[in-house]
Chain A
Amino acid sequence: MADFFSWVDKPLDTHAVLNMIIGAVVILAFILGVVTYSIYFQRKLIGWMQWRIGPNRVGPLGLLQTIADVLKLLIKEDVVPEKADRNIFLIAPILAFFPSFMVLAVIPFSANHVFTAYSNVGVLYYIALSAMTIIGVVLGGWASNNKYSLIGGMRSAAQMISYEVPLAMSILGVVLMAGSMNLVNIVEAQISFPYVWYIVPQFLGFCVFIISATAELSRTPFDLPEAESELVSGYNTEYSGFRFAFFYLAEYVYLFAMSGLGATLYFGGWSGPFLPGWIWFGIKVTCFIFFFFWLQATMPRIRTDQLLTFAWKVLIPLSIVNLVLTAVLKYLLH
């Protein structure tokens, strides 16, 4: 299969372009389904944790609730505040959404990675692209001409940039062990000798990863950018309709992408006995998503200054320690 999708580093021809378009459309359709039902899953799950029922009106068991919500957002009037910086205001949600969708290109959903790229710089690609979302968020907050949005946007920028560092550093530990930045190779390294998922040798790295991932996703307890009780709704206060939907979509696509990345790096991606690879991948991703929702139902919110202190004084040193340990052990064992 690898050669079938080797168009990534080849000059374009009709066949390759067609391939790309089909791949993109399929992934988009798939991811919309995943996002729809992870929102449903979130509402049901947190509902149960809080002695509530959750959505149960639209469709059987409320299964169509999210679809109805999205439909409502799509047919809403596209309001642009009078004092907003119009062009930037309009483009910001798209800027925030695009990279979230693009990172999915490198995540190996199964052993036969149809529709995803076999890229030798997969990890780097993910980190670089996901950093671009910040631009959309900051611009959205800035262009809204709203003080809450501005503070929300600034908080997001500070938070995401700070936590990108420990996130990348913790991933480096895995990269060192696998000897590759290709996500497919990383999975293959986990299913060949010594047959152990990287969660075991990289446990410290995993802890740093999951904390930074929560912060990168702006989920509780790191949901400062949209801290409702302080900033009303943060950077997307002024957004409504489908532009708001784009921000929302970006958030949940990242949730899926980050869970996929975590499953790939630390839990052997698609690998597992008996069941086909994509089911194993689905199970692992669901566990990650469940974990994030569980956190959301349990934790209060951390404060801005504590958030940054935590990143720079705790997580980054820890990830460096992890990196050095990995390097030394790897050198000694060879």
Chain B
Amino acid sequence: MGEIRTEEMLMNIGPQHPSTHGVLRVVVKVDGEIIKEADPVVGYLHRGTEKLAEDLQYTQIIPYTDRMDYLSSMVNNHAIVNAVERAMDLEVPERAEYLRIIVVELNRVMSHLVFLGTYLLDLGAMTPFLYAFADREQVVDFFNRLCGARLTYNYMRVGGVKWDTPDGWLDDVKKFVPYMRSQMGMFHELVTGNEIFLERVKGIGKFDAETALNYAMSGINLRSTGFNWDLRKNKPYSIYDRFDFNVIVGENGDCFDRYMCHMNEIMESLKIVEQALEQIPEGPVMGKVPKILRVPAGEYYSAIEGTRGELGVYIVSEGKDKPYRLKFRRPSFINLQLLPQQLKGQSMANLIAILGAVDIVLGEVDA
């Protein structure tokens, strides 16, 4: 009897697959269940946001950013308005700044809750998904009351925010913060201590800080390796220097650390929301800005700490009301680049765990 003939199998994970969180396609060559080669194929959700922006006035670009990382639209809004304000050197009223911080940090909580839910769903546990979404729903309701939309908010404007808070909104958010804290305890009890979960994520998808830096990773993917880099602390923008919060870093750079970073960042974001709620002054929410926004000719780059990493906006302006070229540095896209190396030699089950922990949003990958 000769040797048993084995054959590598070419498999398509996606673009229609329950675990790619949208339309990512990963072409994998598998030997049994071991991945020999993985090749992510992106672009199924490409809408040409950057090209479209060249024909739009700066205010008109804001709703397009809603649709990039659709789980954290407020953060995207903040990125574009912050970039334009810096380029034009505009003043933003205090109350608007605080409102921005509150909604951005609530959005971070919301986005991390989606990560928590979908990651556990990928790993086969259905219940945390529903619990996480039930809590996320409360934040969605807050945003709905604030700006009339549940997902694509279009809330911020260059020079401020569009609407002031409705009556009682701030009080309700104030009540939500301790509630969410106690919910986190529940999640830790349900998920973090679970032996099966730990076995699935500990030591999986490891990379070190150097690799992460070489691949220009940012956000939780970088911090999970123990590298302390958070734009909110390292290059404070907006009014982040007024708040007391910690930057969460991991140790080993494995999937478990990334999960823990998400969990702990929720707590830190709640801390910021709490402080902002205490400090928020009365006043106007829209500053004095020219009717038509014209960014002076030149090139500008400014970045904020997005939910998934450094969300940068690069504006090339010729002094007109529309940008000559607008480039978004989209963290999801950049964090995804390490995937082929990460997946090599892993099993199919680990593919899901690793891809899930990178925490991509396809709207942002493809823009």
Seen from chain A, the residues whose Cβ lies within 8 Å of a Cβ on chain B are 46, 49-52, 147-148, 151, 220-221, 223-224, 227-232, 296-306
Contacts and interface: CB of A to CB of B under 8 A. Distances in A.
B184 to A, nearest CB: 17
Interface in B126-155: 126-127, 130-131, 134
Contacts of B17: 232
A300 B125 contact: yes
A232 B16 CA distance: 10
Given A50-B131, A221-B196, A232-B18, A303 B349 contact: yes
B130 A301 contact: no
Contact of A50 (B19, B127, B350): B127
21 contacts: A50-B126, A50-B130, A51-B134, A147-B9, A147-B11, A148-B11, A220-B124, A220-B125, A229-B122, A298-B127, A298-B190, A299-B124, A299-B125, A300-B120, A300-B123, A300-B194, A301-B123, A303-B347, A303-B349, A304-B33, A305-B347
Contacts of A224: 349
B168 to A, nearest CB: 25
Contacts of A147: 9, 11
Q: Is the interface of A mostly helix, strand, loop or mixed?
A: helix
B197 A300 contact: yes
A49 B130 CA distance: 10
Interface string B324-346: 00000000000000000000000
Contacts of B131: 50-51
A45 to B, nearest CB: 12
B348 A151 contact: yes
A301 B122 CA distance: 9
A22 to B, nearest CB: 42
Contact of B124 (A49, A301, A306): A301
Interface residues of B, number: 30
B244 interface: no
A151 B17 CA distance: 16
Contacts of B190: 298
Contact of A303 (B120, B130, B194, B200): B200
A224 B17 CA distance: 16
Contacts of B200: 300-303
A298 B125 contact: yes
Interface of B: 9, 11, 17-19, 33, 120-127, 130-131, 134, 190-191, 194, 196-197, 199-200, 347-352
A228 B123 CA distance: 10
A78 B127 CA distance: 33
Residue in A46, A52, A223, A303 whose Cβ sees the most chain B Cβ within 10 Å: A303
A302 B199 CA distance: 8
Contact of B19 (A49, A51, A230): A230
A306 B199 contact: yes
Contacts of A221: 124, 196
Contact of B123 (A50, A151, A229): A229
B352 to A, nearest CB: 5
Query: What are the 3 A-B residue pairs with the smallest beta carbon separation, nearest first?
Result: A301-B124, A300-B125, A50-B130
Contacts of A231: 348
| Residue from B124, B196, B197 with most neighbouring chain A CB atoms (10 Å) | B124
B259 to A, nearest CB: 12
Nearest to B9: A147
A297 B18 contact: no
A261 B199 CA distance: 31
Contacts of A297: 126-127
B99 to A, nearest CB: 31
B140 to A, nearest CB: 16
A300 B352 CA distance: 13
A223 B350 CA distance: 16
A223 B125 CA distance: 11
A220 B127 CA distance: 12
Contact of B352 (A51, A229, A302): A229
Contacts of B348: 151, 230-231, 304
Contacts of B352: 229-230
Contacts of A46: 126-127
Given A300-B197, A303-B347, A229 B124 contact: yes
A228 B18 contact: yes
Most buried by A among B17, B131, B134: B17
B33 A299 contact: no
